[in-house]
A and B are shown apart, each in its own frame.
Chain A
Amino acid sequence: MEIQLTLNGKAVKDQVGADTLLLDFVRKHGCYSVKRGCETSNCGLCTVLLDGKPVLSCSTLAARADGCSVTTLEGVQEKAEAIGRFLAGEGAEQCGFCSPGLIMNVIAMEQELSEPSEEEIREYLAGNLCRCTGYMGQMRAIGNYLNRKGEEQNG
């Protein structure tokens, strides 16, 4: 079947199977930042924004995304650099394999929560697993990133 969607701001038209997963679709279209870490919807590595909401592209049919807007890290490179710089500043990207999914969800969190507490951040991002860092460095980085943003707005 043919679907048409907006991928990172560009119209994309393609044939997909009824069972094609959005994850495989976006990788096929060059969005290699989107990773698969499990088959059971547990790891968050495949997080993309579907009409602005963070979803697991491993559990979403490409067909269902027909007519929708899909954003991957490739489409928000400036943000990725801005948030990523804080992660790198803590050494908290480590192997980096979970970083794209995490950053996508941080972007979603920024839009959804204003001035989240540390506990709220932990809850919002709980579905983003990381095996390298023990999360503390990520939390420092995200905290610093959000604070900096706050300072910029206040200053």
Chain B
Amino acid sequence: MDRTVRYVGSPVPKKDSMALVTGKPVYTDDIAPADCLVVKVLRSPYAHALIDEIHTETAGKVPGIVSILTWKDVPKKRFTMAGQTYPEPSPYDRLILDRRVRFVGDAVAIVAGETEEAVDKALKLIKVNYQVLTPVLDFRTAKDNEILVHPEDTWQSLCPVGADNRRNLVASGVDSHGDVDAVLAGCDYVIEETYHTKANQQAMMETFRTFTTMDPYGRLVVTASTQVPFHVRRIIAHALDIPKAKVRVIKPRIGGGFGAKQTVVAEVYPAIVTWLTGRPAKIIYSRYESQIASSPRHEMELKVRLGADKNGIIKAIDLYTLSNSGAFGEHGPTTVGLSGHKSIPLYAKAEAFRFAYDVVYTNRMSAGAYRGYGATQGLFAVESAVNELADRLHMDPVKLRELNMVREGDVMPAYYGETAGSCALDRCMARAKEMMDWDKKFPARDMGNGKVRAVGVAMSMQGSAISGVDVGSVTLKLNDDGFYSLMIGAADMGTGCDTTLAQIAADCLCCDLDNIIVHGVDTDVSPYDSGSYASSTAYLTGGAVVKTCDTMIKKIMEKGAEYLGASMEEVDFDGKRVYCLDGSREISLRDIGNQAMCNNGLALEATESNTSPVSPPPFMVGMAEVEVDMETGKTELLDYVAVVDCGTPLNPNIARVQTEGGLSQGIGMAMYEDVTYSAQGRVLEDSFMQYKIPTRQDVGTIRVEFESSYEKTGPFGAKSIGEVVINTPSPAIASAVAHATGVYVRELPITPEKIYKGMVEHS
């Protein structure tokens, strides 16, 4: 059949959009049964302590209280809450409730009751005697500290990631190519600086939430706001120590995730309550809990040595990353890898690189997955160092990058030796330069009113799925009247994959988009998918859609041929009908669908899985224009220009909004979002009053364009878009500030006070 591209590349509205904008009850809390027990967690006031005694008798007598669980009541098998493919690289270091509490906010007891009032009252009546221990709060002193966050013998690391709980190590390792020390020694210029990125909260508008029920077959049904339904099934089974067959996970509409919901932050609490009591239960995290006991970005300290010759050719990059995983190891071993593997390859022409890292436990909130997943941190360091090199060389940083950037066909030694099969980074740079009117604005302009405007640039890359690991599967069914059910296990969390995958299917099947129905994930029904993370869905599950459609078409032709009394070779399918090539006979898809429901032995159903040996990087260039008040350091972001190569944008509207949203999160990270702790280890930014995310008055103008390459391993040439877009603001804004003031802020966020202090020191 001839395929025409009708929907791919077209800005169709999302299939669920009208339900969302008219406020229909489609999210977890909206659809929870009214008789759910209210579940809440009593949390530790100490950063590190042992529970000596815990008394729940009085609390249990509060009318309406149904269950109070402590460390004595939960299975003793350790597990990880990280939503990753089994065997998880993250260590098995969790219990649902532990006798040792490891951060302020760690779970001490679970209370379930008929009403919120009863639960709140009971929480206050639980008496706990803590043996308070000295915490490890500074991640720079955590490795080989005599205080251990996880001294327990039952701690376990399933993968060879260099983890050692006796050294507070979640992971450690080194990767290199060439002799980096020798090359650096021969360089005319070496930039050697330390950069510090902070924890950030994903701050999705819908906090963590789950409700659980028992079904008529005695199975636990978990309806969760999650990005990883199949991982939730496994993790719940591990946590409760029950067979996986006993767990079913349903994902309804999700109010944002950004990686936060790639960790099973809240699901286990109602799950254990329902499993033990048989009653429906629900947990809704407050914003406070989502700020203090969740899964924020890993804080990292990155030491960069960047060497170049006098012409600005980058010869070597040496990076050491220290990552703070907090009290538990979720995503610790994997995020750190991206800090090097997705920053260094932008300069694939360098002769040598070394990337070493340690990931440590501390008595702080456990870190997790946040959009960018370590690449964001690494790119702040490497791109900032490149910008500093340009300034040292008195060279335009755009020019410096034009000399050094990875180009299509280049082998990237620091990216697992992969070749950049599709790369329009050079075109992205050229277009961004035009859009920003860079040559006119670089480096800075004194506005004559005490304010200086300046520009900065940064590049970014990410991956498209985890090569050799991630799996995306798709099932298609042909129904009566010829409409298709598209079943996916990938989680649409507002990202629009239900729609973009249907667009791919519609073009593959040559049908109207409305002829394809989609719905949320149900692990009992949907085919297996690793989940929506690691920028995988469009690329990997999208590829699975193409494969599945091919199989489906064959089956339709086979059935059609049978009905037409012809052989497969004599017919073709055009999306609406199967017809004989000689024009003699035809049967409509509608009739095939209807007829197949009677006297039929061939299921018109197809399932295919997709996995990829490569993870083609999307690329982008970001440019920031800021205005700095030279007296106060107050900095306003005026304009942000971004040009993205995500291969073929499957849906330009969705891709654009993804980009604008990612940039906005990156802008918050760059300029004010911070997670800081009191001396006792309590998170200070524990609400939206203290943790400030950008408002619409804070983002200036964000302008996005696409310069597409064609990725031949991707569906219709597509690569990923979700994560690459968050990485450029920090280094671009830092450099713009440096061009205005001469001050390099190397610790995020880049606040007016840091800029002001830098200017004072400078003068």
Contacts and interface: CB of A to CB of B under 8 A. Distances in A.
User: Is there a contact between chains A and B in the complex with CB atoms less than 8 Å apart?
Assistant: yes
Range for the number of chain B residues in contact with chain A: 35 or more
Interface in B685-705: 687-689, 693-697, 699, 701-702, 704
Given A32-B30, A130-B205, A90 B657 contact: yes
A91 to B, nearest CB: 4
Contact of B664 (A103, A123, A128, A134): A134
B205 A98 contact: yes
Contact of B661 (A33, A34, A43, A134): A134
Interface in B178-233: 202-207
Interface string A54-92: 000000000000000000111001001101110111111
Interface string A89-114: 11111111111100100000000000
Nearest to A72: B23
Contacts of B26: 96
Contacts of A100: 21, 23
The 4 closest A-B pairs by CB, nearest first: A33-B23, A95-B494, A84-B21, A96-B20
Nearest to A37: B205
B508 to A, nearest CB: 22
Interface in A116-155: 122-123, 125-139
B75 interface: no
A88 B13 contact: yes
B661 A96 contact: no
18 contacts: A32-B23, A33-B25, A40-B689, A43-B205, A88-B14, A89-B13, A91-B653, A92-B657, A96-B21, A99-B23, A100-B23, A103-B21, A130-B205, A131-B661, A131-B665, A134-B660, A135-B694, A137-B656
A88 B494 contact: no
A32 B699 CA distance: 30
A134 B23 contact: no
Interface in B493-535: 493-496
Contact of B660 (A41, A123, A137): A137
Interface in B651-701: 651, 653-654, 656-657, 660-665, 687-689, 693-697, 699, 701
B314 interface: no
A40 B699 CA distance: 22
Interface of A: 32-35, 37-43, 45, 72-74, 77, 80-81, 83-85, 87-100, 103, 122-123, 125-139
Contacts of A38: 287, 687-689
Specify the main secondary structure of chain B where it touches its partner.
loop
Contacts of A32: 23-25, 30
Given A34-B23, A39-B288, 19 more contacts: A35-B27, A37-B287, A37-B688, A87-B21, A90-B653, A91-B657, A92-B657, A93-B17, A95-B206, A96-B21, A96-B494, A97-B205, A129-B205, A129-B693, A131-B258, A131-B693, A134-B664, A136-B660, A137-B656
A41 to B, nearest CB: 8
A68 to B, nearest CB: 21
Contacts of B482: none
Specify the main secondary structure of chain A where it touches its partner.
loop
A92 B696 CA distance: 13
A91 B13 contact: yes
Q: Which of A123, A130, A138 has the most CB of B within 10 A?
A: A130
Contacts of A132: 204-205, 256, 494, 657, 661
B205 A95 contact: yes
Contact of B255 (A34, A41, A96, A123): A96
A48 to B, nearest CB: 11
B276 interface: no
A84 B18 contact: yes
Nearest to A28: B34
Contacts of A123: 697
B286 interface: yes
Contacts of B27: 35, 97
B11 interface: yes
B22 interface: yes
Nearest to B19: A96
A7 to B, nearest CB: 14
Contacts of B253: 95-96
Contacts of B14: 88, 91, 93
